[in-house]
Amino acid sequence: MVAVTGAVPATRRPRGGARQAVRLVVLIAILAVVLYPLIWMIGTSVKSQEEIVNNIGLLPETFTPGNFTQGWTNFDVTFGRFFLNSAMVSLLTVVGNGISCLLAAYAFARLRFRLRGLWFAVMIGTLLLPGHVLIVPQYILFRSLGMVGGEWPYLPLLVPQFLATEAFFVFLMVQFMRGIPRELDEAAKIDGANSFGIFRHVILPLSRPALVTTAIFSFIWTWNDFFRQLVFLSQLEDYTVPVALTLFIDSTSQSAVGPMFAMSVLSLLPVFLFFVAFQRMLVEGINTSGLKG
Amino acid sequence: MALTTTPDRTRRDSGSVRPASSGGGTGRIRHSEGLAGYVFLSPWLIGLMAITAIPMLLSLYLSFTNYDILTPWSEVQWVGFENYRRMFADDPSFWHAVQVTLKFALIAVPLKLAAALGVALLLNKAWRGVGLFRGLFYLPSLLGGSVALAIVWVNMFNRDGAFNSFLGLFGITGKPWVNDPDWALETLMVLAIWQFGAPMVIFLAGLKQVPTELYEAASVDGAGRFRQFRAVTLPMLSPVIFFNLVLETINGFQGFTAAFVLSNGTGGPVDSTLMYTLNLYIKGFTDLEMGYASAMAWVFLLAIALITVVFFSTGRFWVHYSDGEK
């Protein structure tokens, strides 16, 4: 590969070509290290117990899909239930964040009202507030309201998401809305629209890209979240996938490694599919959004 | 940068000049819009009160009590600064957790940022396939915070894990690194560094903003590549480095999931992975000492606030904002 890339542009820019070849080799080497754990994970998930200990290669000699069926039914409740629970929590979080953050962002980005500057500063302040700081009092409050381990134990996970507590998404949407030309608001205003009309007919349709970004990251972060779900879910049948996965660690027997890896691979699959579908947006969308503006 | 932008005053003012032709109409518009503002803001405001402000005040109160979730409220005792005193003077696990957390952040964060910047420099120029590299390097940042990946990591650095097979290629016999108090935290650092993709993407966005004329000028002046990096890239990138440093440090302090998985929630082996938040979880939800855990939470919050202030006050000595700052 080095020879090929080095040879082709050699006639025109020999130094640039050689440099590019070196760069490529270095990048591929780093990429191999970075991807190794993921490939090893997938390989191990289809290795038999014996091979997990003895075969140090990436790929199994005998393909063992049985890890998946064994892992799926490893506990009294199947992983089907855990996946459903995770999907429900994640999807409702997407809905909650989408609606509540959009409303708050519109107020911050477009409307004039008393104390707006103060509230905006408070919102920015909560951006840096670590979730771990509030977990104890939130637990106590939700418990005193009968929401922890109640009829439907997901309320403590979901109520905050419907109240725009993810300041990051509010901030992201404010930044996005500032880019929507104000002339559109003015035009709608001349046509007789009030603040609600402008929101409905101008801001909402034009904010779709910000909404999509919010939806995808809400989903992935909630799907991967462990801390809050660990704290608030106590019954096996209510567990989400991350909490259920830790049950494998409790059962320290070596025989569970294959099934544990199989379920780990499955649990990452939705995130991976999002990555494949929205790669460009994920890479360029969110991380840089805080920088523009 | 992002965090220092305030609501856009100039635009708000110019906005209010145009439609407000003059006199009585303005007040009416402002009034109805003010009302609408609070209608749209109400979910956020309720959330701020119920999910953030009230819990914070409750937590402050609890931190001066011996509250555990089991005793009824009427029997909760005010203990003054006892929780804080115990934390600083009588609880070795507290100081141990502080040490573990600081060590983790001080080593993992700079290495992660160095990796992110290094790879970003390699990917800065546009060529065919560069997008694929960016995406694949970013992938660990999406997956790395999960329980599943923590499980993989622990097994990878266990006795029969991939890391030891790799060492075996060179005839080195490894050990179960995750069970060794001298190495367990280091494996978690490697996991953090492995997720360098997120800051890398931010570096790439920053590198795009550096005007190419600066490199041309430096090149004319006879500066080599290394000199150009030091004289042009680093200062021009310093706001982005600062942004990443603040963000990653605060994130680093909050590492929980991987430490929980590695130690099965205990902070072991021999407390070597007892991150601050894990210690807080153990005190609050395993030992049910919620008053004490609340005091720990407040100390944590103040520490993070202090570190942020230190960052911002030292930042002006090395962060270079060009006047073209957008």
Split at pLDDT 50, 70, 90, the class of A254 is low
Please state the separation of Cα A112 from the chain's center in Å.
33
Kindly determine whether residue B298 and residue A133, on different chains, have CB atoms separated by under 8 Å.
Answer: yes
Chain A residues closer than 8 Å to B264 by CB? 246, 249-250
CA distance B264 to chain A (A): 7
Q: Give the C-alpha distances (Å, rounded to integers) separating B102 from A152, B184, B261, B280.
A: 39, 15, 20, 15
Whether B78 contacts B165, CB under 8 Å = no
How large a percentage of chain A has pLDDT more than 70? 90
CA distance A260 to chain B (A): 8
| Helix-strand-coil split of chain B, %, nearest 5 | 75, 0, 25
Query: Mean pLDDT, to the nearest integer, of A82-90?
Result: 97
Whether B238 contacts B319, CB under 8 Å = yes
> In terms of domains, do A178 and A237 share one?
yes
Residue of A nearest to B127 (CA): A20
**Considering CB atoms only, which of A31, A114, A280 is closest to B34?**
A114
Chain B residues closer than 8 Å to A186 by CB? 18-19
Q: What is the mean pLDDT of chain B?
A: 87
**Considering CB atoms only, which of A137, A143, A196 is closest to B59?**
A137
Split at pLDDT 50, 70, 90, the class of B34 is confident
Q: Helices marked H in B73-91 — which ranges? A: 82-85
> In terms of domains, do A92 and A213 share one?
yes
> In terms of domains, do A63 and A103 share one?
no
Per the DSSP assignment, residues forming a β-bridge with B65 are B78
Whether the bond between A60 and the residue before it is cis, its omega within 30 degrees of 0, is no
By residue range, what is the domain housing residue A114?
A: 78-289
Kindly determine whether residue A195 and residue B36, on different chains, have CB atoms separated by under 8 Å.
Answer: yes
Residues B210, B322: Cα–Cα separation, whole Å: 10
Query: Mean pLDDT, to the nearest integer, of A166-191?
Result: 93
Measured in residues, chain B has a length of 326
Split at pLDDT 50, 70, 90, the class of A286 is low
Q: What is the pLDDT of residue B325?
A: 45
Whether B112 contacts B248, CB under 8 Å = yes
> In terms of domains, do A89 and A130 share one?
yes
The answer to whether residue B281 neighbours chain A at the CB level (below 8 Å) is yes
- Pick the residue with more confidence: A8 or B126? B126
> In terms of domains, do A138 and A228 share one?
yes
**Considering CB atoms only, which of A120, A194, A287 is closest to B32?**
A194
Q: What is the pLDDT of residue A5?
A: 40
Whether A31 contacts A24, CB under 8 Å = no
pLDDT tens per residue, range A228-242: 999 999 999 999 999
Q: Which residues contact B192 (CB under 8 A, 6 or more apart)?
A: B104, B108, B109, B112, B144, B252, B255, B258
Split at pLDDT 50, 70, 90, the class of A76 is very high
How large a percentage of chain B has pLDDT more than 70? 89
**Considering CB atoms only, which of B33, B55, B138 is closest to A112?**
B33
> In terms of domains, do A102 and A247 share one?
yes
Q: Choose one of A24, A51, A69: the last residue of a domain.
A: A69
Chain B residues closer than 8 Å to A290 by CB? 1-3, 243
- Model pTM? 0.88
> In terms of domains, do A192 and A106 share one?
yes
Is the torsion defined by CA of A275, A278, A280, A284 positive or negative?
A: negative
One DSSP character per residue, B132-173 reads HHHHHHHHHHHHTTSHHHHHHHHHHTSTTSHHHHHHHTTT--
**Considering CB atoms only, which of B8, B265, B300 is closest to A130?**
B300
Q: What is the pLDDT of residue B74?
A: 87
Q: Choose one of A34, A69, A104: the last residue of a domain.
A: A69
Q: Give yes or no for residue B20 having a pLDDT over 80.
A: no
The three-state secondary structure class of B78 is strand
**Considering CB atoms only, which of B2, B250, B261 is closest to A293?**
B2
Q: What is the mean pLDDT of chain A?
A: 88
> In terms of domains, do A235 and A164 share one?
yes
Query: Mean pLDDT, to the nearest integer, of A35-43?
Result: 94
Whether A12 contacts A6, CB under 8 Å = no
Kindly determine whether residue B152 and residue A40, on different chains, have CB atoms separated by under 8 Å.
Answer: yes
> In terms of domains, do A107 and A198 share one?
yes
Query: Mean pLDDT, to the nearest integer, of A81-89?
Result: 97
> In terms of domains, do A94 and A64 share one?
no
**Considering CB atoms only, which of A107, A288, A292 is closest to B37?**
A107
One DSSP character per residue, chain A reads -HHHHHHGGGGT-HHHHHHHHHHHHHHHHHHHHHHHHHHHHHHHHTS-HHHHHH--SSS-SS--THHHHHHHTSSSS-HHHHHHHHHHHHHHHHHHHHHHHHHHHHHHHH---TTHHHHHHHHHHHHT--HHHHHHHHHHHHHHTT-TTSSSTTHHHHGGGGGT--HHHHHHHHHHHHTS-HHHHHHHHHTT--HHHHIIIIIHHHTHHHHHHHHHHHHHHHHH--HHHHHH--SGGG--HHHHHHHHHHS--GGGHHHHHHHHHHHHHHHHHHHHHHHHHHHHHHHHHTT--
Q: What is the pLDDT of residue B269?
A: 92
Chain A residues closer than 8 Å to B136 by CB? 31, 34-35
- From chain B residues 147-176, the ones with a CB under 8 A of any chain A CB are 147-149, 151-153, 155-156, 160, 162, 165, 168
The three-state secondary structure class of B287 is coil
Q: What is the pLDDT of residue B22?
A: 37
Across B202-236, b (16+ Cβ under 10 Å) vs e yields bbbbbbeebeeebbeebeeeebeeeebeeebbebb
- Pick the residue with more confidence: A55 or B77? B77
The answer to whether residue B237 neighbours chain A at the CB level (below 8 Å) is no
Q: What is the pLDDT of residue B30?
A: 58
Split at pLDDT 50, 70, 90, the class of B322 is low
Question: Rounded to 5 degrees, what are φ and ψ at B281?
Answer: -65, -45
**Considering CB atoms only, which of B37, B133, B151 is closest to A27?**
B133
Residues B15, B82: Cα–Cα separation, whole Å: 54
Kindly determine whether residue B143 and residue A279, on different chains, have CB atoms separated by under 8 Å.
Answer: no
Whether A263 contacts A79, CB under 8 Å = yes
Q: What is the pLDDT of residue A80?
A: 96
Q: What is the pLDDT of residue A7?
A: 40
CA distance B76 to chain A (A): 14
- From chain B residues 181-200, the ones with a CB under 8 A of any chain A CB are 194, 198
Residue of A nearest to B129 (CA): A24
| Termini Cα distance of chain A | 42
Closest by alpha carbon to A257, among A48, A59, A55, A35? A48
> In terms of domains, do A186 and A116 share one?
yes
Split at pLDDT 50, 70, 90, the class of B47 is very high
Chain A residues closer than 8 Å to B58 by CB? 137, 140-141
Residues B239, B210: Cα–Cα separation, whole Å: 12
Residues B226, B118: Cα–Cα separation, whole Å: 13
Q: What is the pLDDT of residue A150?
A: 81
Number of domains in chain A: 2
Least confident window among A111-120, B28-37, B71-80, B144-153: B28-37
Kindly determine whether residue B261 and residue A137, on different chains, have CB atoms separated by under 8 Å.
Answer: no
- Pick the residue with more confidence: A57 or A116? A116
Q: What is the pLDDT of residue B226?
A: 87
Residue of B nearest to A264 (CA): B148
Helix axes B197-209, B130-143, angle to 10 degrees: 140
Query: Mean pLDDT, to the nearest integer, of B255-266?
Result: 94
CA distance A148 to chain B (A): 13
Residue of A nearest to B154 (CA): A249
CB atoms within 10 A of CB B133: 18
> In terms of domains, do A99 and A40 share one?
no
Split at pLDDT 50, 70, 90, the class of A77 is very high
Q: Choose one of A25, A49, A69: the last residue of a domain.
A: A69
Query: Mean pLDDT, to the nearest integer, of A33-51?
Result: 92
Q: What is the pLDDT of residue A61?
A: 85
Q: What is the pLDDT of residue B168?
A: 85
Chain B residues closer than 8 Å to A195 by CB? 32-33, 36-37, 40
The three-state secondary structure class of B65 is strand
CATH fold of B82-318: MetI-like fold (1.10.3720)
Least confident window among A35-44, B160-169, B200-209: B160-169
